Amino acid sequence: MPVPYFRLKLEEAEIEAVVGVLRSGWLTSGAECAALEREFAEALGGGVHAIAVNSNTSGMHLALEAAGVGPGDEVIVPDLTFTATAEVVRYLGAEVVFADVLPDTLCIDPGCVRRLLTHRTKAILPVHFGGLGAEIGALQAIASEYNIVIIEDAAHSFPASAAGSAIGKHGSFATVFSFYANKTITTGEGGMIVTSDEAVAQRCRVMRLHGIDRDAFRRFQGDSSTWNYDIIAPGFKYNLPDIAAALGRRQLARAEAMRERRAAIAARYHEKLSSLPLELPPGAPAGDKHAWHLYPVRLTADTPTKRSDLEAALAAAQIGYSVHYTPLHRMSYWRERYGLSDDRFPVATDYFRRCLSLPIFSDMRIDEADEVVSVIRDLLG
């Protein structure tokens, strides 16, 4: 039985919501976008501002810009992440400093962060890897001690919690979520900046749409007082259209149910694979929630095959898989710009040599998970 790495299933209400926007005559950022922002903030428990954008990447760019990051500054980023986490630093002319990750959670290592601090360090950009919370308390202690900001890359992590609070509610300068097509909730392309600081929120709102000081929806809804807008900064075109927001609102309503489904798949993998020579990803600590965006396993010294053999077996059975991620120090641009090598990132390098991400998604059935397990057990058992 073929099993894809990812499969999206939309409900009829989600499709109708998008069709409703198409019929409304207003397609770009408007009432649906504003409603998604309100509902997302409420889903986190309130007390925060939510600013919808067209990607997690653009959201991180806006958050870094709001923090005043620029030439001469350094931002500490985990080596084990997608390139977007690092590239936004370069957009602003600042330099990326790569940190190794913790061997269990694969999130940024606070001890490594502390060793990399300099007088130029402006921000730390941790990733909640795979949907599991980073050690936010330890990172906040460092940030407070050295007067630097934390901008959390939560692309994998809605809905999830860490240290007893929802990710997005830890009081960081900003937290940025992703609504990309294969994320835990989707708008096709999109993201959300969350902050408890009104000034940060207002800067991101202005800069996401060309630096205009007036809302476009109001300007085109017959409010004649809004035609005379001003440009207060050279902004960007990072707004989320209502077509996407309408889908996001209905996905948001199902977010916890979809997380529970992914958690059930993860539990099935744990149950069926625990006797094999594989390292399985850890669950969240008691009282916290894992978003289960990824399920990466690691071959051990006792695994009787190579990763390429496991890849071949899965491919022959038409089962999707992936690798998350090739560490950034192995990517040409980052390696050459900063002179990076494997020995500086022993944990990320070791993980990369042994890892493989198994399919896990909200529409996945238990019998599909069992098919994945069967192929792995046949090879390793």
- Has residue 2 been placed in a domain? no
Distance CA 178, CA 172 (A): 17
**CATH number, domain at 206?**
3.40.640.10
243: CB partners within 8 A, 6+ apart:
18, 21, 22, 27
Verify that 120 and 16 share a domain, yes or no.
yes
DSSP 330: G
Verify that 111 and 228 share a domain, yes or no.
yes
Active site (annotated) includes residue 183 = yes
Query: Is 4 buried (19+), middle (13-18) or exposed (0-12) by CB count in 10 A?
Result: middle
Verify that 242 and 283 share a domain, yes or no.
no
Predicted local confidence at residue 15, as pLDDT: 97
Distance CA 218, CA 242 (A): 14
Q: Are 269 and 83 in contact (CB under 8 A)?
A: no
- Has residue 136 been placed in a domain? yes
pLDDT, block means (10 residues), the chain with 381 residues: 96 97 93 97 98 98 98 98 98 98 98 98 98 98 98 98 96 98 98 98 96 66 66 95 98 98 98 97 97 98 95 98 98 98 98 98 98 97 77
Predicted local confidence at residue 225, as pLDDT: 58
**CATH number, domain at 307?**
3.90.1150.10
Q: Are 87 and 334 in contact (CB under 8 A)?
A: no
Query: Is 215 buried (19+), middle (13-18) or exposed (0-12) by CB count in 10 A?
Result: middle
Q: Report the DSSP pairing between strands 121-124 and 149-154.
A: parallel
Q: Are 321 and 311 in contact (CB under 8 A)?
A: yes
- Has residue 230 been placed in a domain? yes
**What one-character-per-residue DSSP string does 254-272 give?**
THHHHHHHHHHHHHHHHHH
- Domain end among 196, 224, 254: 254
Verify that 61 and 182 share a domain, yes or no.
yes
Predicted local confidence at residue 222, as pLDDT: 55
Distance CA 123, CA 113 (A): 11
Predicted local confidence at residue 218, as pLDDT: 53
Distance CA 69, CA 133 (A): 25
Catalytic residue from among 183, 237, 289, 306: 183
Verify that 81 and 92 share a domain, yes or no.
yes
Verify that 196 and 289 share a domain, yes or no.
no
- Has residue 1 been placed in a domain? no
Verify that 202 and 304 share a domain, yes or no.
no
Query: Is 165 buried (19+), middle (13-18) or exposed (0-12) by CB count in 10 A?
Result: middle
- Domain end among 194, 225, 254: 254
Verify that 164 and 283 share a domain, yes or no.
no
Distance CA 255, CA 253 (A): 6
For residue 319, which amino acid is it?
I
Q: Report the DSSP pairing between strands 296-299 and 355-357.
A: antiparallel
Distance CA 274, CA 297 (A): 11
What is the count of structural domains for the chain?
2
- Domain end among 254, 271, 306: 254
Distance CA 367, CA 268 (A): 10
Verify that 226 and 263 share a domain, yes or no.
no
Verify that 32 and 165 share a domain, yes or no.
yes
Query: Is 77 buried (19+), middle (13-18) or exposed (0-12) by CB count in 10 A?
Result: buried
Distance CA 239, CA 340 (A): 35
Verify that 320 and 217 share a domain, yes or no.
no
pTM greater than the 0.75 cutoff: yes
Strand partners, 355: 298
Distance CA 335, CA 354 (A): 21
Predicted local confidence at residue 228, as pLDDT: 78
Cα–Cα distance list, 301 to 276, 346, 353, 358 (Å): 12, 16, 12, 20
Q: Where are the beta strands (DSSP E) in the chain?
A: 49-53, 74-78, 95-99, 121-124, 149-154, 161-162, 165-166, 174-178, 191-195, 278-279, 296-299, 355-357
What's the domain range around 270?
256-380
